[in-house]
Amino acid sequence: MNTYLLEIGLEEMPAQMILPAVEQLKTLVNKTCEQHQLSYNDLHTFSTPRRLTIQILGLPEKQADRSIELKGPPAAIAKDKDNNWSKAAKGFAAKNGVDVAALEIREYEGKDYLFVQRMELGQPVPELLQGQIEQWISQLNFPKNMRWGSYRMRFIRPIRWIVSLWNNCVVPVKLEMVEAGNETRGHRFLSSGNSLLKDAADYQNQLEKLYVMADFEKRRESIVSQIRKLEQEFGFEVELDDKLLTEVTNLVEWPTVLLGEFEEEFLELPSEVLVTSMAVHQRYFPVFRKKVNQDSGVKTLLPHFVTVRNGNSEWIDTVRRGNAKVLRARLSDARFFYLDDQKKSLENFRQKAENVVFFQQRGSQDQRVLRIADLAVFIAGKLNLSDAQQKHVRRIAELSKFDLESRLVQEFPELQGLMGENYARLKNEAAVVCRGIREHYYPRNAKDSLPADAESVPVALADKLDLLTTAFSLNMIPSGAADPYALRRTAQGITQLILGLRLPLDLRELTSAAVRLLDEQQKLALERTKLQEELLDFLLQRQRWFMQERGIRYDLIDAVLKNQTEVKAVNGKTPHRVLAIEQLQYADYLGDHLETKMFKRSVEAIVRAGNISSKYPDKIADNLVESALKLTEEINFFAALKPILKSDPQTLWTPDNYLEQLREIEPVVTRFFEDVMVMDEDPVKSGNRLWLCQQLAQWSGRHLDLQSIVFA
Amino acid sequence: MKNSHTIQEIIMQLNQYWSKQGCMLMNPYDVETGAGTMNPMTTLRTIGPEEWNVAYVEPSRRPADGRYGENPNRLYQHHQYQVILKPSPDNVEELYLASLEALGIDPLEHDIRFVEDNWEAPTLGAWGLGWEIWLDGMEVTQFTYFQQVGGIACQPVSAELTYGIERIASYLQDVEDVFDLEYTKGVSYASIFRQPEFEHSKYTFEVADTDLMFRWFNDFEQESGRAIAENLVFPAYDYVLKCSHTFNQLDAAGAISVSARAAYIGRVRVLAQKIAKLFLEERCKLGFPLMKDRDAALKWVKELTPQN
């Protein structure tokens, strides 16, 4: 059996793009093999910062021969009047290199056609692959491509060499900037110059000799095991953040782990500052004291760091000292800012915020904070928080953005909120307020945690609603991929908060308050209704997304979301507006309890009731004339409707009660439609019957739009 | 380490190395710049088809980084060693690594990494892709393939190598504080630069007349526009540099709010883009004299000359 190997040699690729790239390469190669019915035993990928490699093992010498069938002209024109093959038929045979004797006539989609069977000889595999290689390379997709030198090609980083080997022979390919061969490059420093690859199957071993661990998993394992060894030797714990580990693995070809130290005095800094300096800025792994007591969740940092060198252990002390020096410089800077910030009062920071413009024509950061505070307290009221809690809510909101004016956060933007919490604690603010300053940013993405304190939640909502409202008021509504202010994520955050924490909040009230507060504060004379509708529409899209992510069926999502837009007054009273959490509750419940047969019949019955009552709006009785109910079916219908009629249209039925009611009323209504002609010569009778239908449809419509539900 | 590493020697070693690689040795610009990139030897010459290989030192002003000469790492004015290779050669990474060896940095004794870092200069309408080069964890060079300058796609693409001279020197001399560096034997960095660092910081943060500077900005902008109208590329660009420096001073003084910032940057960019376009047109009128391949030059002229 044979092996084919393709190695694309590049200048250092961005770490996070390497694995997706090699995955794409695998998909492309697989597609080629499928298309050409090429079988293989195994497909290996390798990747380092400087190479993307695919190895196809167990390939045949030649593609299998296969018989293919070709369709020709219609049989009607295949023979002339003497029953000899016509010119068209002869042409078809000649084109396909067969004798006319081989032509067959067969039916195809109801008509006869000429057909010919032809043996397609399998192509030698190297030839076949050769024709594909360039396409594989050019079809690799990257978020950001570049050009280099005078070449026209665009790629993630410059391509510097290509190895293309069929066992031990080069499969030639020529790109604009390089010709494929059998020469690879080893580790940039530990090996030198170009090295011959002798055997496609032995790639991994050959590269190992050139100080390149080509397999990502192997490299990662090597780093992990070296770190575990350090842990055992020194009795500490190294936090192996998965993302960081992957990134670091993709920054090196020959990993050697080393342990460095920094001065103990820096441990006075908040641990987040230390961790960010190490993990984010320097890609070091922070080191913690081994947990003696498993219960205490707090980890204690040690004045060490672990980093991974791209090389061997020679001269490792120089590397260690250099890295320690860099970290020391960063931490000195951070400490200077940290101490400097503490000299200022919270009022100082607030004054600075007065001069920071939030959005042009929408006031200062300080004014935004005032809006957030008012909105947060409004939301806290809706959530029935106590007066004492509401006081805390206001304080959290007032302090929610002050740390943005601190020097440390300006230096470490990723620590916003965290530093606010820290500084507020130093100023003796209440614990719940300090936590709230950090938590009001939650959730920062789809997987982030939600605020733990009830007092943080209104501020988290208000912050996001105000950003959204302000941006929308300036017509910055995201479209397509462009969303520079991350408004989708912001709206998503609102949905996550409301649905994740099951908050009984009405988005209409919330958006209305947010719009009003902005309009009044900035004296903008906004078109409030239009703005509010745009906001609601945007939020509804995010709610839909949330439900989809939860695995809820599309039609059920439609059914629960649609009802909201079709709220009608019932008996003069405005019906209860369905809340987002109720919609979710319904969707969840229906998903679990869709007893299809009963449900399908109910849906049919209710949809029918709805259709007929809306078809004759003028003929519906204003009130039921009970004495005119004569037929058993209509009397039964009325009786079965009683629980609905008695219920308060302001209150939503719980999903289980709703389904129970459907279950009971369904046979009655089905029977009614089977045996009773709704429209009658007597307008009182028609009016009564239409009234019954209307009551049922309206009641159901308050809960769900049944027409959206799709039955298999 | 084999070589001696005063700042002066580092500069000489780099000069010698890059001169051997065929670079012309140029000089710092005489208008304030924030980086070697701002020097017209880079900004303008990376536009258009002409070959261009240069190396020069650029004293670079970053008013916001002024720390009164008290911070061990930050300076109002630091020094960059700037190399432009146009078009970027196929072995540009190897050339760069050999330059470190020329400074006595043996890659086997260190950890040298290419860490993704994409560069963008919004005031110039310029961006590129590349890396920070880490030497044992310290960023010592910015390595960029220019993709666009002044809103014009770079064709061919230049490689820009920007060495942070103080960074490299403090590594090679093994000092913690930039002011402890030796400029040349027996002369410390502090003895030369501490005073200007202090004075520029004090001026920027406490003394500068920001009202006057706002006026300057407007005047420089206007004058640049006048020069553009007369097809005078280089004078127009000098005033862009003056706008840019004035803006940096105002920004450092905290006189420009966040959203006003974007507007000022936009105003500088508009000028830079006009100048970039004009530069290309003027070089085209001259027949791209720096191109060695005259046939190719004529082809470019034909391609870029507007058809009537």
Which residue among B87, B115, B176 places its CB closest to the CB of A325? B176
- Residues of chain B whose beta carbon is less than 8 angstroms from a beta carbon of chain A are 71-74, 87-90, 93, 97, 107-116, 118, 128-129, 131, 135-138, 145, 147, 154-157, 159, 171, 176, 254, 257-260
- What 3-state class would DSSP assign to A259? strand
3-state secondary structure A143-183: CCCECCCCCCCCECCCEEEEEEEECCEECCCECCCCECECE
First and final C-alpha spacing in chain B: 63
Q: Domain for residue A152, yes or no?
A: yes
Q: Domain for residue A555, yes or no?
A: no
Decide: residue B105, CB within 10 A, 0-12 exposed, 13-18 middle, 19+ buried. buried
Residues of B in contact with A149 (CB under 8 A): 87-90, 156-157
Considering only CA atoms, which of B10, B87, B91, B85 is closest in space to residue B55?
Answer: B85
Tokens of A265: 């005095």
Which residue of A lies nearest to B110 if distances are taken between CA atoms? A319
- What 3-state class would DSSP assign to B89? coil
- Predicted local distance difference test score (pLDDT) of residue A571: 56
Same domain, A141 and A200: yes
- Give the count of alpha carbons within 13 A of B235, CB side only: 11
Is the pLDDT at A604 greater than 60, yes or no?
yes
What secondary structure letter does DSSP report for A482? B
Same domain, A694 and A601: yes
Tokens of A663: 């279950």
**DSSP-assigned letters across all residues of B94-129:** HHHHHHHHHTT--GGGS-EEEEE--EEETTTTEEEE
Same domain, A338 and A356: no
**DSSP-assigned letters across all residues of B127-147:** EEEEEEEEETTEEEEEEEEEE
Q: Average pLDDT over chain A, rounded to whole?
A: 91
Residues of A in contact with B108 (CB under 8 A): 189-190, 311, 314-315
Tokens of A672: 């009614």
Same domain, A389 and A275: no
Residue where the block lists tokens 């600075």? A352
- Give the count of alpha carbons within 13 A of A79, CB side only: 10
The residue-averaged pLDDT of A609-628 equals 90
pLDDT tier at A478, thresholds 50, 70, 90: confident
The residue-averaged pLDDT of B124-153 equals 95
Which residue among B88, B258, B259 places its CB closest to the CB of A148? B88
CB contact under 8 A, A11 and B109: no
Class at the top of the CATH hierarchy for domain B209-301: mainly alpha
Q: A interface mutation test: which of B75, B114, B132, B251 has the most A CBs within 10 A?
A: B114
Same domain, A222 and A311: yes
Which residue among B112, B137, B138 places its CB closest to the CB of A307? B137
Distance between CA atoms of residues B115 and A250, nearest Å: 10
Q: Domain for residue A87, yes or no?
A: yes
| Residue A353 Cα to chain centre, angstroms | 34
pLDDT tier at A595, thresholds 50, 70, 90: low
The residue-averaged pLDDT of A151-172 equals 97
- Residue B99 in contact with residue B17, Cβ under 8 Å? yes
Same domain, A363 and A309: no
3-state DSSP: chain A helix, strand, coil percent, rounded to 5?
Answer: 55, 15, 30
Residues of B in contact with A360 (CB under 8 A): 259
Among residues A342, A359, A387, the one where a domain terminates is A342
Among residues A550, A572, A605, the one where a domain terminates is A550
Positions of CATH 1.20.58.180 in chain B: 209-301
- Predicted local distance difference test score (pLDDT) of residue B21: 98
Q: How many CB atoms lie within 10 A of CB A123?
A: 16
Residues of A in contact with B90 (CB under 8 A): 149, 158, 160, 177
Sign of CA dihedral B258, B264, B268, B270: positive
Residues sharing a CB contact under 8 Å with residue B295, sequence separation 6 or more, in sequence order: none
pLDDT tier at A575, thresholds 50, 70, 90: low
Q: A interface mutation test: which of B52, B86, B93, B111 has the most A CBs within 10 A?
A: B111
- Predicted local distance difference test score (pLDDT) of residue B11: 98
CB contact under 8 A, B129 and A144: yes
* Phi and psi torsions of A671, nearest 5°: -60, -45
- Predicted local distance difference test score (pLDDT) of residue A704: 87
Distance between CA atoms of residues A502 and A145, nearest Å: 44
Same domain, A369 and A512: yes
Q: Domain for residue A274, yes or no?
A: yes
pLDDT tens, position by position, A69-110: 888 888 888 888 888 888 888 888 888 888 888 888 888 888
Q: Domain for residue A556, yes or no?
A: no
Residue where the block lists tokens 């000195």? A332
Same domain, A203 and A220: no
Distance between CA atoms of residues A350 and A424, nearest Å: 13
Residues sharing a CB contact under 8 Å with residue B91, sequence separation 6 or more, in sequence order: none
Q: How many CB pairs under 8 A join A and B?
A: 112
CATH number of the domain where residue A144 is located: 3.30.70
- Give the count of alpha carbons within 13 A of A278, CB side only: 31
Give the containing element (helix H, strand E) for A701.
helix A683-703
Is the pLDDT at B303 greater than 60, yes or no?
yes
- Predicted local distance difference test score (pLDDT) of residue A570: 54
Q: Domain for residue A499, yes or no?
A: yes
**DSSP-assigned letters across all residues of B160-225:** EEEEEHHHHHHHHTT-SSGGG-EEETTEEHHHHHHHHHHHHHHIIIII--HHHHHHHHHHHHHHHH
- Residue A118 in contact with residue A104, Cβ under 8 Å? no
Q: How many CB atoms lie within 10 A of CB B285?
A: 12
Residue where the block lists tokens 């460095």? A260
Same domain, A332 and A419: no
Is the pLDDT at A296 greater than 70, yes or no?
no
Q: How many domains does chain A have?
A: 5
The residue-averaged pLDDT of B259-265 equals 79
- Encoded amino acid at A499, one letter: L
Among residues A510, A530, A550, the one where a domain terminates is A550
pLDDT tier at B1, thresholds 50, 70, 90: very low
Residues sharing a CB contact under 8 Å with residue A315, sequence separation 6 or more, in sequence order: B108, B109, B110
Distance between CA atoms of residues B247 and B35, nearest Å: 14
Which residue of B lies nearest to A255 if distances are taken between CA atoms? B111
Positions of CATH 3.30.930.10 in chain B: 7-204
Distance between CA atoms of residues B146 and B143, nearest Å: 10
CATH number of the domain where residue A414 is located: 1.10.3210
- Residue A249 in contact with residue A220, Cβ under 8 Å? yes
Decide: residue B267, CB within 10 A, 0-12 exposed, 13-18 middle, 19+ buried. middle
Task: Give the structural domain span for A249.
Answer: 216-342
Q: Domain for residue A83, yes or no?
A: yes
Same domain, A519 and A403: yes
Decide: residue B258, CB within 10 A, 0-12 exposed, 13-18 middle, 19+ buried. middle
Is the pLDDT at B306 greater than 60, yes or no?
yes
ipTM: 0.95
3-state DSSP: chain B helix, strand, coil percent, rounded to 5?
Answer: 50, 20, 30
CATH: 3.30.70.20, 3.40.1280.10, 3.30.930.10, 3.90.78.10. Which one for B7-204?
3.30.930.10
Is the pLDDT at A566 greater than 60, yes or no?
no
Q: Domain for residue A30, yes or no?
A: yes
Q: Which of A141-145, A243-247, A596-600, B124-128 has the lowest mean pLDDT?
A: A596-600
pLDDT tens, position by position, A626-661: 898 999 999 999 999 999 999 887 788 888 899 889
Buried b (16+ CB within 10 A) or exposed e, A10-44: bbbbbbebbbebbebbeebbeebbeebebebeeeb
Q: Is B47 left (phi over 0), alpha (psi -120 to 50) or beta?
A: beta
pLDDT tier at A295, thresholds 50, 70, 90: low
Distance between CA atoms of residues A20 and A28, nearest Å: 12
Same domain, A491 and A615: no
CA distance B175 to chain A (A): 9
CA distance A337 to chain B (A): 12
The residue-averaged pLDDT of B36-65 equals 97
Bridge partners (DSSP) listed for residue B87: none
